[in-house]
Amino acid sequence: MASLDDVWRKSRRSLENGNCVELRAVDGRVQVRDSADPGPFLTFEKAQFAAFLAAVANREFDRP
């Protein structure tokens, strides 16, 4: 049985059209994949992912 941390999750705000990103925590890392193509995934250290989320919240990736 999978633990809660290694279950893929998507945002509650995701649409049901299958175009979303899923996340899971495994061995102290965060893994990210495309729900439409659930094979490959990217792996980040939790601190790296937290820094990315902070940058998004600070609108650092917004277009000028």
Are 43 and 18 contacting, i.e. CB atoms less than 8 angstroms apart? no
- 13-63 pLDDT tens trace: 777 776 788 999 999 899 999 988 888 999 999 999 999 999 999 999 999
Tell me if 64 is assigned to some domain.
no
- Cα–Cα distance between 12 and 31 in angstroms, integer? 18
Contact 42, 31 (CB under 8 A): yes
Which pLDDT score is estimated for 1?
47
pLDDT band of residue 2 (cuts 50, 70, 90) is low
- Output the pTM of the full model: 0.76
Determine the pLDDT at residue 30: 95
pLDDT of residue 18: 66
Domain count, the chain: 1
Residue closest to 34 by CA, chosen among 44, 15, 17, 21? 21
- Does some domain include residue 63? no
Q: Does 30 reside within a domain? A: yes
